[in-house]
Amino acid sequence: VTATDADSGTFGSVSYSIGSGIGSTIPTQFSISKQTGQICTTQNLDRDDGSASHDFTVTAVDGGGLNSMAYVKVFLSDINDNRPVFYPLHYAASLSAQSMPGTSVVKVTAYDKDEGANGRVTFRIVSGNLPQLFTLNEDTGVISLSRSLNGKANSVRQLVVSAQDGGGQLSLHNAKVNISIVPGSVSPPVFEQAQYYFTVPEDAKTGAAIGTVRAISPTAKLPPVTRLSISSGDPKGYFIIDGSSGQIRTSISLDHEVQPVLILDVQARSGSPPAYSNAQVKITVSDVNDNAPTFPTNSESVLVPETTAIGATIYTVDAVDRDGGPNGQVQYDMVSGGERVFSIDRTSGKIRLIGPLRYESMPRYDLKIVARDSGAPQLSSTFTLLVHVQAENDSGPIFDTLIYRVEVKEGTLVNTRFLQVRALSQESDTGHVTYHLRADGDSSGFGVVPESGWLFVKSTLDRETKDLYVLTVLASSGPSELRKTGTATVRVSVTDENDNAPKLSEERYFTTVQENLPGGTTIGRVLATDRDSGQNSRLSYRLTHHHENFQINSDTGDISTRRSLDREQASSYQVTVVVQDGGTPPRSTTGTVYVTVMDENDNAPMFV
C-alpha cells in the first residue's frame, strides 16, 4: 500500500502499521514494512483449514502525527493441495439373489477440502467386479446391480473403489465394499429401537459407558447377532462399541465446544453370508464450564484528551467465552485503577468517563478489568487498559505515532537496539529533542538513547516470566526553565523461543487393565505441559518402539490396547512414551508407563 503526503521534510515522511479489521484482531499472518508499506506473509496460509480471506487496516502516519487509514482484504485463491478422503472407509450391504438389475445397493462418500473443480470428486471401481455384476455412478457414488444374480446366492462380493478430484489427485486409501448375496429375501437383524438418544458430559472420563444398543435375529433359524460396529458418523473416533454387548463407551476426550452433537450409524450383522441393518444413535455432548472468558489481548493503550466530555465512551472491552448457555454469559467489573474517574457497563463492556481528567495530577490510569462467566464454578480473566491523558494546549514534541507496537524475541542479547522512536518539536527555536523513559516497573528492563530515540534491551527477557511490557517514552525540547514534553506509548511483545522442553506430570505412570477387554480399550493417559507458546508448545506423543499390545493417541496422550490381553500369558508390561514439542529444533522428554493386567475367572480347573 502507498500513501502520499504533500508536506515536505520530516512532516512529509510516512510510516505504516497494521491494525485490526472489522470484528477481528490484528492479524499475525501478515507484516508490513514501516518504511515502504509492502505487505508480506509471516507464515504459511491454508484456506482449506483456515479462513478463505483476511481483513485488516493499515494506518499511515506522517512526521507531524497526522494519520490516515486504509482497509485491506486479502482473498486466498485455492490450489489443489488436498486429496479426496473416504469416510467411512468400509461399507457393507446385503442383497437378495432375486433382486432386479438397477437396484441400488450402497452409496460410497468421499470429501475433498479444495473448492471448485479441485474439490469435485468422481468414483471408480478398481477391483472385485468380475464378472461385472455392479455399476458405480461416478458422480454420486451409488453402486447399483447391473445384471441378474442367478447362481450367485450365498456369496460375498468385495469391491474396491477409488476417488479422484478434478485436479487428478487420487485418494490415498481406497474404500472397501462388502456385498452379501443371500438367497430369497433378506432377513437382517432387528434393532430394539430405530433411533437411540444418549447424553454424556464433555468431561466424562475416557472409557466411560454412555449407553447400549441391541439387535436380535429376526427368526430363530438364523444365528444370533455376531457383531455390532460404528459404520459412520464418528470420523475422529470419539466412541467405540463392544461388538457383542452393544455398549458404547468414550474412546478419547470430548469437547462440547468442538463437537456438541454426533449422530452415529451403528450396523448389526447376522447370518452367513451376513445380512445387515442399521440404527441411528444421537449422542449429545453436554456443556460444562471448562472455558474462561478470553480477551483478544492482555492489555491495550488509549490516548484520551483531558478535555473529553463527562459521559463519553473511551473504550469497549470484549471477552469471548466458548461455553454455551449461562457458562458462556460474560459480565465485566473494574476492580482497580478507576479512581472514580471511569466506570464500566457490566453487560456491554463500555468504559465511560465519569470524572474530570487532569494531566498535571494524573497523566496515566491503569484500569484493571475482570470478565467473569456465569458458570459454576465461575471462571474469569483479566484485562488492563492503559489510559494516557493528553494535556490541553500541550505544545511539546509530537511523536510520529502515539502508540508503537514492536516484537522482541526472548533471550535477545543485552544492549540490542530494537526500535527507534521519533518526535518533532512544534517550535523551530526550541532546540534539540531528547528522549527518556518514564520510570516505572516495566521500564527497568529497557533503555533509550537520549539523542537518537533508539530503544534497547537492558536485561534478559523471558516470555514465560513476562510477555508484554508497556513503556512510556518522553520527548523533551527547549531550555530547562521552559522545557516542554511530549509522550508516546511503546508496547513491547516478547515472542517465544523454544527454550523449554515438555514436562510430564509424572515421570512414572502406573495403571491397570482387566484381561479379555476388547482391543481399543483406553487404559490411561500421559499428561505433559510445555511453558512455551504457539507451535513450540504443541505436543505430540509416541511410543519409543512399536508395541504389539499398546498404542498411544498422538494428540491426547491416551494409551489404549491394540488387542485383548491375557493375564495368563503376561501379567505386566512396561511402555516408554516420548513427548515432543513442535519447535525447531524440537525438544522432548520420556516417561515410563507400568501396566498391570488384572485377572478374571476365565479358566476352569484342570486335573493333572
- The sign of the torsion formed by the CA atoms of 539, 543, 545, 549 equals negative
- For 328, which DSSP code? G
Residue 488 pLDDT class (50, 70, 90 cuts):
confident
* Pairwise CA distance, residues 470 & 278, whole Å: 61
> Which amino acid is it at 448?
V
- Helices first, then strands: H and E counts in the chain: 0, 48
Residue 604 pLDDT class (50, 70, 90 cuts):
confident
Partnered with residue 594 across adjacent β-strands are 510, 574
Q: Which helix (H) or strand (E) holds 450?
A: none
Instruction: Decide if 113 contacts 48 (C-beta within 8 A).
Output: yes
CA angle 101, 84, 266 (to 5 degrees): 60
What mean pLDDT is reported for the chain?
89
Partnered with residue 39 across adjacent β-strands are 32
Residue 397 pLDDT class (50, 70, 90 cuts):
confident
Whether residue 80 is predicted with pLDDT greater than 90 in this model: the reply is yes
Distance of CA 311 to the CA centre of its chain: 39
User: What are 205-235's pLDDT values in tens digits?
Assistant: 988 999 999 998 776 554 555 689 999 999 9
Q: Hey, what's the cell of 212?
A: 447400549
Q: Hey, what's the cell of 507?
A: 515421570
Residue 432 pLDDT class (50, 70, 90 cuts):
confident
pLDDT of residue 481: 62
Write the CB contacts of 17 (distance below 8 Å, at least 6 apart in sequence). Answer: 32, 34, 58, 59, 61, 401, 405
Instruction: Decide if 230 contacts 239 (C-beta within 8 A).
Output: yes
* Pairwise CA distance, residues 102 & 144, whole Å: 6
Distance of CA 578 to the CA centre of its chain: 23
Q: Hey, what's the cell of 468?
A: 508484554
> Which amino acid is it at 436?
H
Q: Hey, what's the cell of 335?
A: 476492580
Residue 549 pLDDT class (50, 70, 90 cuts):
very high
- For 65, which DSSP code? S
337: left (phi over 0), alpha (psi -120 to 50) or beta: left
pLDDT of residue 226: 66
Residue 521 pLDDT class (50, 70, 90 cuts):
confident
Residue 404 pLDDT class (50, 70, 90 cuts):
confident
Residue 300 pLDDT class (50, 70, 90 cuts):
confident
Q: Which residue from 360, 421, 426, 422 is spatially nearest to 396, judged by alpha carbons?
A: 426
Whether residue 199 is predicted with pLDDT greater than 60 in this model: the reply is yes
Whether residue 430 is predicted with pLDDT greater than 70 in this model: the reply is no
| pTM over the 0.85 mark | no
Q: How many CB atoms lie within 10 A of CB 497?
A: 16
Q: Hey, what's the cell of 141?
A: 457414488
> φ, ψ for residue 445 (rounded to 5)?
-90, 5
Burial 572-591 (b: 16+ CB within 10 A, else e): ebebebbbbbbbeeebbbeb
All domains of the chain in start order, with CATH: 9-75 (2.60.40.60), 85-182 (2.60.40.60), 190-286 (2.60.40.60), 290-375 (2.60.40.60), 395-495 (2.60.40.60), 503-598 (2.60.40.60)
Mean pLDDT computed over 526-548: 92
User: What are 34-74's pLDDT values in tens digits?
Assistant: 889 999 998 888 888 878 888 898 988 877 667 788 999 99
- For 294, which DSSP code? B
* Pairwise CA distance, residues 592 & 271, whole Å: 45
Mean pLDDT computed over 93-102: 93
CA angle 481, 486, 492 (to 5 degrees): 135
pLDDT of residue 431: 62
91-100, 260-269, 401-410 — which is least confidently predicted?
401-410
pLDDT of residue 584: 86
* Pairwise CA distance, residues 425 & 485, whole Å: 9
Whether residue 101 is predicted with pLDDT greater than 60 in this model: the reply is yes
Q: Which residue from 390, 403, 295 is spatially nearest to 349, judged by alpha carbons?
A: 295
pLDDT of residue 429: 57
3-state secondary structure of 248: strand
Whether residue 110 is predicted with pLDDT greater than 90 in this model: the reply is yes
